[in-house]
Amino acid sequence: MAPSKMSIPPPNIVNSEFKEPLLCGPGPCNMWPSVREALTKPVVSPLCDQFFSALDDIRAGIKYVFQTKSNLVLAISGSGHSGMETLITNLVGPKETLLIATRGIWDERAYNVANRYGIKTIIYRVPYNTTFTLEELEKQVELYRPTAMFITHGDSSTGTVQKLEGLGDICHKYGTLLLVDTVVSLGGVPFFMDAWGVDAVYTSTQKALSGPAGISPVAFSARAEQKIKNRKYETPFYFDINLLAQQWNCYGNTRSYHHTMSPPLIWALRECLRQLSIETLEKSWERHAKSTRHFHERLQRLPLDFLVPNPEHRLATVSTLVLPNGYNYNEVVKYIREKHNIIIFPGLGPTAGKSLRIGIMGVNSNSAVADALADALADALQALVKSSL
Ligand code: PMP
């Protein structure tokens, strides 16, 4: 049989070199040098002892960083959104109700995911530059008695951090599971899964853990585990926690194949967790608070405002800043990228056109980076005002 005629020529893919930027947006962040090195370790069979022992190390590391004794802990192959989709689809069935506490774009993503699976959604919204009080959340849970409530701990679209302590008890009083996004908060600000009664949590590697995106730690409480074991509805195969728990050997003697995990991402995640374990969570939280405090002190000399008025609501990993009238957010971002090789982001979702989003986290959480950012902002404000005169 004559081969079909080639109609698409091979593309000319050029392997271009570039100077690594300082990544100070709300994520991704630069990687720890040791994580970068871990990514180049050999690929092995996902059914060998080296791989199994890395999975065990990762599970121990996840228990530490989430502060949980739960056995149902593992990592999903995918970026932060995969953690979100895993939690929602495993814990809330079609026609069950998800209450979504909304103050930024991630809660809106949760709404989008839930709607695709026929889940009933209830939105409870506060202004995007504030956070929820436990009293108002309790009123909503009491009123709707939903199957679960979704809430974002650190919101990278608004630069706010939500108080969670006590929320688990409130949810459990009404038979509701508490689902939490910690993608941009974990490692940067305190989080205590068991003590705060969180039933399911996900995070990702590319923020305060300073690793590559593509793998997302998740954990489930005993209450959530019961729900997963007894559920009558199907979940997407790729995110089925019952099957993934067997691949990750969460209950012992079940190293079964579910999908081919990426060994470089496994080595990288293990190294992120090793770094944090060596530093300790307490020291990492302190370091993040100190660097951001230093950054904010430097900002006092500049004509910038905080988008989040209450300092207690401000997230230590991501600052949201309002420019004086006459400046264009995209121009400031572009200037700082081109002149300083520093990446910062404009607003997103509710903060689009209203703020800059600046992340000081992971390997970049130190006073030298805070100073470089403050200098770059001062330069941009001066240069751009001149050019617009
Ligand atoms: N939640 C939060 C708080 C985030 O900041 C992000 C990413 N910016 C996500 C979820 C989604 O993660 P990913 O882009 O890795 O899918």
**Exposed e or buried b for every residue in 267-304, given b needs 16+ CB within 10 A?**
bbbbbbbbbbeeeebeebbebbbebbebbbebbeebeb
The complex scores an ipTM of: 0.99
| Residue whose tokens read 């079909």 | 4
The pLDDT tens digits for 263-283 are 999 999 999 999 999 999 999
Distance 26 CA to ligand 1 centre (A): 9
Which of 23, 81, 361 has the most ligand 1 atoms within 8 A of CB, as the residue to mutate? Answer: 81
The residue whose CA is least distant from atom 2 of ligand 1 is: 183
Q: Write the residue with the smallest CA distance to atom 14 of ligand 1.
A: 80
- pTM for the structure as a whole: 0.97
Spatial neighbors of 308 by CB under 8 A, at least 6 apart, are: 129, 130, 158, 159, 160, 314, 320
Q: Is the CB of 182 under 6 A from ligand 1?
A: no
Residue 161 Cα to ligand 1 middle (Å):
15
Q: Tell me the per-residue pLDDT of 96-152, one tens digit each, with 9 for 90 and over.
A: 999 999 999 999 999 999 999 999 999 999 999 999 999 999 999 999 999 999 999
For residue 41, pLDDT over 60 is answered with yes
Query: Hey, which CATH number is domain 33-278, 1.10.1060.10, 3.40.640.10, 3.55.40.20, 3.40.50.2020?
Result: 3.40.640.10
What are the residues facing 291 on neighbouring strands?
A: none
pLDDT of residue 233: 95
Whose CA is closest to 161, among 219, 111, 103? 103
Here the tokens at position 124 are 């409870």
The average confidence (pLDDT) of the chain is 96
* CATH number assigned to the domain covering 22-28+280-388: 3.90.1150.10
pLDDT tens digit sequence for 72-97: 999 999 999 999 999 999 999 999 99
Q: Do domains 22-28+280-388 and 33-278 have the same CATH topology?
A: no
- Counting ligand 1 atoms within 8 A of each CB, the residue from 29, 100, 106 with the most, and so the one to mutate, is 106
Q: Looking at this protein, which amino acid is placed at residue 243?
A: L
Q: Cα–Cα distance between 110 and 13 in angstroms, integer?
A: 37
User: Where exactly are the structural domains of the chain?
Assistant: 22-28+280-388, 33-278
For residue 355, what are the CA distances in angstroms to 307, 325, 339, 352?
Answer: 7, 12, 20, 7
Task: Of 312, 269, 89, 96, give the one whose Cα is nearest residue 179.
Answer: 89
| pLDDT per position as a tens digit, 154-179 | 999 999 999 999 999 999 999 999 99
Distance of alpha carbon 209 from alpha carbon 186, whole angstroms: 8
CB of 181 closer than 6 A to ligand 1?
yes
| Confidence tier at 66 by pLDDT (50, 70, 90) | very high
Residue whose CA is at the smallest distance from ligand 1 atom 11: 80
Residue 79, ligand 1, Cβ within 6 A: yes
pLDDT of residue 15: 86
pLDDT band at 253 (very low <50, low <70, confident <90, very high): confident
Atom of ligand 1 nearest to the CA of 204: 15
**Residue 2: pLDDT over 70:** no
Q: Is the pLDDT of residue 296 over 80?
A: yes
- Residue 306: phi and psi, rounded to 5, are -85, 135
Is 364 close to ligand 1, i.e. is its CB under 6 Å away?
no
Residue 357, annotated as binding a ligand: yes
Give the Cβ contact number of residue 152 at 10 Å.
Answer: 30
Instruction: Give the position of tokens 């430097």.
Output: 298
Q: Please give the torsion angle defined by the CA atoms of residues 144, 150, 155 and 158, in that order, rounded to the nearest 10 degrees.
A: -30
* CA of residue 331 to ligand 1 center, whole Å: 24
Nearest-CA residue for ligand 1 atom 9 is: 80
